Structure 1
C-alpha cells in the first residue's frame, strides 16, 4: 500500500529547464498522514552495509506519522521506503528529528507515549517515554539536542501532569546508560518533569503545540485557552502573550524573531517574538551539548555548578 509516483510539472520546456526538470512526487502511505519531519543524512561511505544514501551523495529523508500508529521513513529523491517503524498503538501526531543530523527520531502519539527511534540501527525503538495521561500532540527537540519537550491534552495542573507540558533531559536524569551502545533506556516508568512555573492557573486547558526557539532559550506554546505563550526557560515563566483563536500548531522562523501559528479555520498568522543575544556561556554550552549527552557531561571531571549549567538545571 506504500508506493511512490512521479509526474512532470505543468509548464513549458524553458520552465522545466529553469527548475532543473522539476517533478511532482507523491508518496502513497495508505493511511491518513498526521505528522511529518525532514532530516538531511550524510552521504554513504564505502563499506557501509545497506546505505540509505547513494555513495558520495547526501539525501533528504522524510518521516511520516500515520493513522494506524505506523511511522514510515522515506528517501525523498528516490521515493524508496527505508523503514516501517512499529510500536505505537494509536495515531502518530508529531515527529521530530534530532537537529544535529544524527539519525534519531522522536514520535508523539495518541497512545499517550513518546518513542525514540535509532534509524542507524535498522529503525530500532530505543526509548519509550511515559507520564502523560492524555493524547500527546507535539514534541520538540532543543537545537543542541539536550532537551525534549512535549505537549499533551491534560487539562488540570497536578503533580505528574504539569498542565500537559513536560520535558526531559536528553540522555540524562532518570535514564539508565546502556554500555553496549552509549544510548539510554528508561526504567519501566519515567516521570516527566517540567522546568516551568505552574504555581498559577497557567495552561489549565489542553496544549496543542510546543517548539523551541533557534537559540534554545525560549519555548512557544499554543493552548485551547486562545493564547500563544512564549516562555523564557531561564525565568521559568511566560514573557509574552498573544491572543489567538482555534490555534493548533506553532513554529519558529529558523533564524528567530518570528513565530508562525496555524489554526483550525485555515489561517497562518505571524507574530513578532522576543530576540535574545546569546551569552558566550550559552554559546559554549550549546556547542558542547550538540555532541555530548547529559550522562557524558555528568561524567566529566568538572565542578558541580558547571555540570548543572551544562545540563540546564541552572542558567
Structure 2
C-alpha cells in the first residue's frame, strides 16, 4: 500500500546579519578582463567550473570567454601561475556550461570537457576549451539564450532555454542535432536546470513561472506541473545533488526550497525581514535575487542578491549562515565541484573567487544523500519507516 506524503507547512528563515562575515576567507582575488567598453557589454553573465575542477570559464564581456586552468604541475607556490585561454564568441555570452563527461573530439587527440556557450543572438557554440576550436554551432532559437544544462552523462543531451519562450533539446552524440522543442511558457524563460538523478527539467521565468518537465526520450517530453508560491519573476533554479530538492530564486526577495515530487514548499529563505507584502514583492523592492546554487554536498545554498551581498545558507545543521559584500552587483555565482570556492561574476566583466569553509558532513546526512540519489519519492512512500526517519529523508525541516 502506498503512503501519501503529508502536507508540510514551510518554515521561513531570515538571514542573521550578526554572523555576516563568519566562515569566509578574507583573501580573495579578482580576475580582470583588461579591456574597456560599456557597462552592458562587460557584464559577466555566467561562469562555470569543469567537473574535475581543472578549468574555470567566465564571460568577461564583449563576446570574450576566458578559460583558466586551475591545476598546475609545480608544487612551488611561486611557480604556480594561472594559464588563461581566451575564446572569441563574437556575441555577448549569456550562459555557459561544461559537458559532464570528457569527449574525444578527434582520434589523435585526448579527451576534453566541451564548453557550451549560449549567445545573445540565439546561437549556441561548443568549444574545445584547450585549443579554442569551435566544435558545434547550434542554431534554432530566435533570440537570446538564457541558460544551458546537460541532462545526463550517457546521452549527452544539452537543454537550452531562451527569451523566445522555448526550451530545446540537442543531442551531442548525433552531431548536435536538435530533437525537441518545449514551449509551455507564456513569457520569456530565464533559466532551466536538469535533475542530476532523474529525467526531470525545471524551467523558470517571468510571470512567477516555475514549471517541471519529464524528458521521457530525446524526442518526447511531458509537462508535469507548475510550482506556485512566488510573487514576482523567478530568475534562477537549481537541483540538490541527490535530486530530492529544488531551489528557486525570485525578485520577490525569497528563495524557496521545494519537494519536486509533491510540489510542496519546505523552506522559504527571506532576504528582507519582514517579507514584503505581495503588492511590494511584485515590484522593485531593492532585493531582487539573481542566482541560486546548491553546494556539492547539498548542505548549503548560495544566493546572490541585488543588495550586493552573496549569502551562503546552512540548510540542515545548527550552523550560522554567512554572507559577504560584493563590491559591484553580481550577475552569477557557482560552487566549485569540491565546494571550497564560490566564483562570483560582476557587472564590470571581472570574477571574484571566495574561499568557503568546508566541513565534514554528519554520517546521517551522507546516508540521506545516498538513499535519495537512488530512491525516488514514490519508492520512498512504499517503504514502512518510522515518522521521524521518513521526515528526515524527505528533508522536512525540524520544528526547532
Q: If the TM-score is normalised by the length of the shorter chain, which range does it land in?
A: 0.7 to 0.9
CA contact (8 A) 2:309 2:325 kept: yes
Q: Does 1:263 align with 2:353?
A: no
What displacement does 1:307 show?
0.9
Per the alignment, in what secondary structure is the counterpart of residue 185 of structure 2?
Answer: coil
What displacement does 1:39 show?
2.7
Cross-structure match for 1:6: none
**Aligned counterparts of 1:216 and 1:27: Cα–Cα separation in 2:** 33
Cross-structure match for 1:98: 195
Cross-structure match for 1:169: 259
> Which structure 1 segments of 5+ residues have no match?
1-8, 10-14, 43-58, 155-162, 175-191
Q: Does 1:311 align with 2:394?
A: yes
Cross-structure match for 2:136: 25
Cross-structure match for 1:137: 235
How many residues are matched?
260
**Aligned counterparts of 2:231 and 2:156: Cα–Cα separation in 1:** 35
Cross-structure match for 2:35: none
Change (3 A) 1:81 1:197: closer
What displacement does 1:197 show?
6.5
CA contact (8 A) 2:145 2:162 kept: yes
What displacement does 1:290 show?
1.0
TM (norm. structure 2) is: 0.60
Change (3 A) 1:69 1:313: same
What displacement does 1:166 show?
1.1
Per the alignment, in what secondary structure is the counterpart of residue 72 of structure 1?
Answer: strand
**Aligned counterparts of 2:334 and 2:148: Cα–Cα separation in 1:** 13
CA contact (8 A) 1:95 1:139 kept: yes
Cross-structure match for 1:62: 158
Cross-structure match for 2:366: 283
Q: 2:149 aligns with which of 26, 31, 37?
A: 37
Cross-structure match for 2:118: none
Cross-structure match for 2:117: none
Change (3 A) 1:123 1:199: same
Cross-structure match for 2:179: 82
CA contact (8 A) 1:231 1:237 kept: no
**Aligned counterparts of 2:318 and 2:232: Cα–Cα separation in 1:** 24
Per the alignment, in what secondary structure is the counterpart of residue 68 of structure 1?
Answer: coil
Q: Structure 1, residues 165-184: CA drift from partner, whole Å, max 9, x if none? A: 1121131364xxxxxxxxxx
Q: Does 1:153 align with 2:226?
A: no
Change (3 A) 1:249 1:132: same
What displacement does 1:298 show?
3.9
Q: Does 1:274 align with 2:386?
A: no
- Aligned-residue Cα RMSD (Å) equals 2.7
> Which structure 2 segments of 5+ residues have no match?
1-86, 88-105, 112-127, 276-284
Per the alignment, in what secondary structure is the counterpart of residue 120 of structure 1?
Answer: strand
Cross-structure match for 1:111: 207
Q: Structure 1, residues 60-85: CA drift from partner, whole Å, max 9, x if none? A: 11111111210011012412112100
Change (3 A) 1:232 1:79: same
For residues 161-200 of structure 1, what are the structure 2 equivalents within 5 Å?
163-172=253-262, 174=264, 192-196=265-269, 200=273
CA contact (8 A) 1:289 1:310 kept: yes
What displacement does 1:299 show?
3.8
Per the alignment, in what secondary structure is the counterpart of residue 138 of structure 1?
Answer: strand
Change (3 A) 1:129 1:173: closer
What displacement does 1:196 show?
3.9
CA contact (8 A) 1:99 1:144 kept: yes
Larger proportion of strand: 2
What displacement does 1:124 show?
1.2
CA contact (8 A) 2:254 2:268 kept: no
Q: Does 1:120 align with 2:208?
A: no
**Aligned counterparts of 1:288 and 1:41: Cα–Cα separation in 2:** 20
TM (norm. structure 1) is: 0.75
Greater relative contact order (Cα 8 A, min sep 6): structure 1 or 2?
Answer: 2
Q: Structure 1, residues 196-250: CA drift from partner, whole Å, max 9, x if none? A: 4678468961111111000000000100011001000025885221111211211
Per the alignment, in what secondary structure is the counterpart of residue 312 of structure 1?
Answer: coil
